[in-house]
Amino acid sequence: MSQKTLSVIGGGSWGTALAHLLIEKGYVVRLWVFEKEVVRQILEKRENETFLPGIYLNPSLHVTNSLEEALEDSSLLVFSVPSHFARGVLSTLAPLLSQPVPIVSATKGIETDSLSLMTDVMKQTLPSSVHPYLAVLSGPSFAREVAQGSPTLVTLASENNSVAQELQGVFTTPCFRVYTSSDLVGVQIGGALKNVMAIAAGVADGLGLGFNSRAALITRGLLEITRLGTAMGGEQQTFYGLSGIGDLILTCTGELSRNRRVGFRLGEGVALQTILQEMHMVAEGVRTTQAAHRLAQKFQVRMPIVSQVHALLFEGKDPQKALRSLMEGPPGDETGAD
C-alpha cells in the first residue's frame, strides 16, 4: 500500500502532523487545507506557520485547497476537521468518493446540535458503501510531539477487524505505536470528553489550587467519562486505556494542551471570549462541554464536573464558585454518589 495515495483532510496541527508522519513513512500524501494562507505557507516555506510552526514539511507533501484534487486516486482518507465544520466538509466530499475506501476520523469532538459522534456524522453524510470502512484514531498524542518523532502510543478503533489491522500497519512507525480496538463509541467518547476535563484541570491550575486538586479532577473526571461512555454503549475497559485515561492525563497536565490553556486563563480571571480570540487553533472542549451537558441529561448520568464547567463557560459562574461547588455535599461511596 506504500505506493498508493493517502488523503488527509484538515490542515490544522493534528492533520498536518499526521500528513507529516505518513509521508515520512514513504506514502504519497495529499493534504487538504481550508485556509488559503496556510496552503501558501506550506508551498513557499514548507512549514505550517499558523498551526504547526517550526516543523519542516517534506517537499513531496502535496497541499491543496481543492477537495477534488486532494481525493484524486486516494486509497485512504484521514479526516481531521474540527467537529463543528465536519458535517459540511463531509457533505461536500461525499460525491467525490469514487470508490469505498477506509476513512479514519482523527477529530476529537461531538457535533453539538445533533449530539452525534463523528462516525455517526460520517454515516449520515457519506455513501453506505464506505460505512464498513470507518475507523477512529485517538489517544495521548500532541501533534507537535508526533511531528517531532517523540514515542507515542495510540488506539485505532474499527468495528471491522480486517480494516483495523490494515490501518494499524499504515500508521505504525518505530515512534508511533498503534493498538487496535473494536469500541468505536468508547474511543470517541474518551477522546472528546477528556477536553472538558482538561478545561476543569486548567481552571484549578489557574486558581493555584495545587497538584492534589488536579489529581482529584482527573480521577473523578475519568469516572464521569466512563459513566456516560458506558451508558452510550461503550466498553468500560476502553476508558482505562490509551484513548481514555491516557489521553485524559496528557490533556489535563501537558503544557501543549489547548483546552487546559483555556481553563488556566479562565482561572486567572480572563473572559472566555477574549481567550478564544487569542487562539489560532480550536479548543474542542468548549463546544464539547455543551454536548456533554446535554448527553448527561439525555442518558440521565450524573456528571458534576461537566455541569460546573458548563456553568463556568455558558452561565457566567465564577471559577472559584464552580470549583467550590464540586466540594460541597456528602462525598458518598467512591464509585457511586459524588
Q: Given this structure, which CATH class describes domain 5-182?
A: alpha beta
Q: What is the mean pLDDT of residues 17-24?
A: 98
For the chain, the domains span 5-182, 201-325
Sign of the Cα torsion 209, 213, 218, 222 reads negative
Tens of pLDDT, residue by residue over 207-235, are 999 999 999 999 999 999 999 999 999 99
Which of the residues 123, 194, 298, 317 is marked catalytic? 194
Residue 137 corresponds to which cell in the numbers above? Answer: 484514531
Tens of pLDDT, residue by residue over 23-37, are 999 999 999 999 999
Q: Is 194 a catalytic residue?
A: yes
Tens of pLDDT, residue by residue over 129-174, are 999 999 999 999 999 999 999 999 999 999 999 999 999 999 999 9
pLDDT at 3 over 70: no
The fold of the 201-325 domain, in CATH, is N-(1-d-carboxylethyl)-l-norvaline Dehydrogenase; domain 2 (1.10.1040)
